[in-house]
Amino acid sequence: MMVDIEIICIGNELLIGKVKDTNGYYLAKQATTLGANVKRVTVIQDIVEEIAKTINEAIARKPQFIVTTGGLGPTFDDITLQGIAKALNRKLEVNPKALAMVKQRTEEYVKKRGLPTEIELTPPRVKMATLPEKTEIVTNPIGTAPGMRVDFDGTVLFALPGVPLETEAIFEETIAPLIKQAVGSSVFCEKSIFADNIFESRLAPLIDKVMSDNLGVYIKSHPMRTENKPYVELHLTIIARQEQTPNQKLSKAAEELIGLIEAAGGVVIEA
């Protein structure tokens, strides 16, 4: 069974070009490598209504997983949890476990820097522990803000902090094992062919034929230029169960594509 995942990256800074969205790239790459099918990567503003609408639209498509990043911190524009609460029609409440985690992480932070260890649970700190009701906290191994998990209508929704190192740490520790369990024996396989002396427009019908002859194999062309000559990478991918021999299917498609390229006057320089 194909395991679908949607990724929602939240933050005005992403949309104005102040910060590059590395979280979307990282999560998509890792989920794909694990054998999941990334259906969408969406970037949206820090607006409660927009967050709620986007999450509800994603839930309606019934992916097995939704992962959001960003908006879990202490500042006024960290409103992802409010958006999730609105989407699920749930109240926000202070989660005692989350509050204890915030306090512990803050104490560890100030202790490392030789600062006073008497920690006041200020409103911004309490804010990071204020989650939608009936949700689970997710341990953040390296940061202060806890993550969140909720199972809703067949979909597992995770909310992760936007700091890339924290996103990656939580994904690797908590989410990756669940995706791997869900995909079972499914694997992602890839192979690249590099062709010279042939234009992408000439390759297009060859790609169509190979994909038609080899169902499940997806081929994407990436044109480049070297010394004013056409130079194209052809990236072949497949997600399938191991018992369906995906590597063999990929090799068969690659062999057919190489033959067609050479017959068309192209030169395969690496495969």
pLDDT tens, 230-255?
689 999 999 999 999 999 999 999 99
Per-residue pLDDT, 230: 61
Domain with CATH 3.40.980.10 in the chain: 4-183
11-61 residue pLDDT tens? 999 999 999 999 999 999 999 999 999 999 999 999 999 999 999 999 999
Positive or negative torsion for Cα 34, 37, 42, 47: negative
Tell me the pTM.
0.92
Per-residue pLDDT, 271: 66
Domain with CATH 3.30.70.1130 in the chain: 186-270
Q: Taking 80 as the threshold, does the pLDDT of residue 227 lie above it?
A: no
Q: Taking 90 as the threshold, does the pLDDT of residue 114 lie above it?
A: no
Give burial (CB, 10 Å; 0-12/13-18/19+) of 38: buried
Per-residue pLDDT, 204: 97
Residue 238 pairs in a beta bridge with 189
CATH of 186-270, one of 3.30.70.890, 2.30.30.100, 3.60.20.10, 3.30.70.1130: 3.30.70.1130
Torsion, Cα 9 31 174 95, to 10 degrees, reads 20
Average pLDDT, the chain: 94
Could you please state the CATH topology (level 3) that the domain comprising 4-183 is classified under: Molybdenum Cofactor Biosythetic Enzyme; Chain A (3.40.980)
Band of the pLDDT at 144, cuts 50, 70, 90? very high
